[in-house]
Amino acid sequence: MPLPEVADYVALNAHLLAACQADDARQVAGQPTPIGTAWQHEQPHLRSLPAHDFDCAVQREVTLNGYSQVVFETNRYSVPTDQAYRHLVLQATPFEVRILYATHELARHPRCYGREQDIWDPLHYLPLLEQRPGALEHARPLRQWRAEWPPVYEQLLVHLQQRWPEGRGAREFVRVLRLHTEFPAALLAQAVAQALAYGSADVAGIRLCLQALQAPSPPLPPVDLSAHPDLAAVATQEPDLHQYEQLLSGGTP
């Protein structure tokens, strides 16, 4: 049987599960029932599973370096700069790395099996960039993210830097990026585009757009004026804007 070709372990596990389920219908030579039926007969005689899953993780005490990272098997994993405790605990499973302070989880990364690699989460460095907005253009943890984020983010950055030079625009942009910790990425990109169109592209305006996108106002039903025919004409009456000109000139409308 050829080896399966899959993109990752999730796809491999799904492939193996489907193969095992399909194998339930196979009947071994000399056996009276298929594999699935035999399993149903055998299962009640087995001991129950443990109450908790076995934690197959390697645990290490680690020390934070000057770049808010911890090292495991030569690879460097980032930790939020605003939770940068000096001494931490790292737990490594076959698929991910967790970084904890006491019992509080600070960070979680896919486990890297390369060597001397930097595994960044750009959100971990936003609190520091908010304090030092001048470093935004040169921050290594943001380079890969910036190459992949929606073009509307670049439009927002240009808009904010033109509106608020001297670092304030970059700081406001970082505050917008921090909204990723609260909202899905696709929704945030939609809100940024909407705020730019409305001319209110700052953190407050984008938050309002996010709230409107999450809970849009239901359309109002049309007013029924059948019982008040005298008001029907009022609803369609065009306003006379010339009255404002009379007010500006000091006249009486």
Domain check: are 104 and 141 in the same one?
A: no
Is the pTM of the predicted complex or chain greater than 0.85? Answer: no
Domain check: are 88 and 160 in the same one?
A: no
Domain assignment of residue 69, yes or no: yes
Domain check: are 114 and 129 in the same one?
A: no
Please report, rounded to a whole number, the percentage of residues in the chain having pLDDT higher than 90.
64
Q: How far apart are CA 121 and CA 128, in angstroms?
A: 13
All residues at 6 or more sequence positions from 169 whose CB lies less than 8 Å from its CB, including other chains: 157, 160, 161, 162, 163
Domain assignment of residue 13, yes or no: no
Nearest to 192 by CA among 207, 178, 211: 207
All residues at 6 or more sequence positions from 122 whose CB lies less than 8 Å from its CB, including other chains: 139, 141, 142, 144, 145, 177
**Among candidate residues 79, 98, 119, the one where a domain is terminated:** 119
Strand order of the β-sheet with 118-119 is 69-72, 75-78, 118-119
In the numeric block, which tokens belong to residue 124? 């971990």
Domain assignment of residue 112, yes or no: yes
**Among candidate residues 119, 148, 171, the one where a domain is terminated:** 119
Q: How confident is the model at residue 245 (pLDDT cuts 50, 70, 90)?
A: confident
**pLDDT tens digits along 151-189:** 999 999 999 999 998 889 999 999 999 999 999 999 999
**Among candidate residues 119, 148, 172, the one where a domain is terminated:** 119
**pLDDT tens digits along 187-243:** 999 999 999 999 999 999 999 999 999 987 777 787 777 787 777 666 566 777 777
**pLDDT tens digits along 87-98:** 999 999 999 999
Domain assignment of residue 97, yes or no: yes
Domain check: are 75 and 102 in the same one?
A: yes
Domain assignment of residue 225, yes or no: no
- Give me the pLDDT at residue 42, please: 92
pLDDT at 253 over 60: no
- Give me the pLDDT at residue 86, please: 86
Domain check: are 80 and 115 in the same one?
A: yes
Q: Is 33 helix (H, G, I), strand (E, B) or coil?
A: coil
Domain assignment of residue 197, yes or no: yes
Domain check: are 94 and 150 in the same one?
A: no
pLDDT at 9 over 80: yes
In the numeric block, which tokens belong to residue 178? 């921090």
Please report, rounded to a whole number, the percentage of residues in the chain having pLDDT higher than 70.
96
Domain check: are 69 and 95 in the same one?
A: yes
Number of structural domains (the chain) is 2
Domain check: are 153 and 167 in the same one?
A: yes
Domain assignment of residue 168, yes or no: yes
Q: Which domain holds residue 154?
A: 125-214
